[in-house]
């Protein structure tokens, strides 16, 4: 049985290294890849499942799942996506995370001040655009009024 396709750049599954568009990561700790001459001394953390093992460990639950999906794909002669759907039907609880698993995930924090600045700039640009349009309407209306007044004031023959 063939092993699941794995990228040796980002260490994820389902795509080869030459198609990877992600940042290279360390197989041991899951952080940005270290220079080749430096051995990683960080604590092991799997980039795929967040477990306390390196990303190439064959006991990783995600590797085992990918291996089973690959087996379904080969045995049933179906696409990877179809094999994944079949796997999910047979293992529905595997894809439901416990509260503890969700709570221990690293959550990226955003700087609210940066987001507020973006909203403020958008609002400021919107107000400037509206003010410009109002000025244009007032100017055109004023020109139209003076044109109407000059036409009304001119004398035309009553034909």
Say how many C-beta atoms besides its own lie within 10 A of residue 123's C-beta. Answer: 10
Q: What pLDDT does residue 158 have?
A: 53
Residue 116 lies in a domain: no
- Classify 128 as helix, strand or coil: helix
Q: What pLDDT does residue 2 have?
A: 86
Q: Is the dihedral of CA 7, 43, 103, 111 positive or negative?
A: negative
pTM for this prediction: 0.56
Q: How many domains does the chain fold into?
A: 1
Confidence of residue 92 (pLDDT cuts 50, 70, 90): confident
Contact 54, 46 (CB under 8 A): yes
Q: Is the dihedral of CA 123, 129, 130, 132 positive or negative?
A: positive
Domain that holds residue 101: 17-108
Is residue 46 packed enough to be buried (19+ CB in 10 Å), middle (13-18) or exposed (0-12)? buried
Q: What pLDDT does residue 138 have?
A: 72
Distance CA 101, CA 122 (A): 38
Contact 84, 14 (CB under 8 A): no
- Classify 107 as helix, strand or coil: coil
Residue 132 lies in a domain: no
Q: What pLDDT does residue 96 have?
A: 57
What length does the chain have?
159
Distance CA 84, CA 66 (A): 9
Decide which of 117 and 55 is more confident: 55
Residue 86 lies in a domain: yes
Confidence of residue 16 (pLDDT cuts 50, 70, 90): very high
- The DSSP code for 24 is P
Confidence of residue 97 (pLDDT cuts 50, 70, 90): low
Residue 100 lies in a domain: yes
């Amino acid at each position: 049985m063939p092993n699941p396709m794995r990228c040796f750049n980002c260490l994820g599954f389902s795509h080869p290294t030459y198609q990877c568009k992600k940042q290279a990561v360390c197989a041991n700790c899951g952080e940005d890849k270290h220079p080749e001459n430096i051995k990683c001394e960080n604590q092991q953390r799997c980039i795929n499942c967040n477990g306390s093992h390196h990303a190439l460990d064959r006991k990783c639950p995600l590797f085992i799942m990918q291996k089973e999906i690959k087996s379904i794909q080969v045995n049933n002669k179906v696409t990877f996506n179809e094999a994944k759907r079949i796997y999910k039907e047979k293992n529905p609880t595997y894809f439901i995370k416990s509260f503890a698993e969700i709570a221990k995930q690293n959550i990226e924090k955003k700087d609210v001040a940066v987001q507020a600045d973006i909203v403020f700039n958008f609002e400021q640009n919107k107000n400037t655009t509206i003010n410009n349009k109002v000025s244009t309407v007032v100017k055109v209306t004023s020109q139209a009024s003076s044109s109407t007044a000059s036409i009304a004031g001119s004398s035309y023959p009553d034909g």
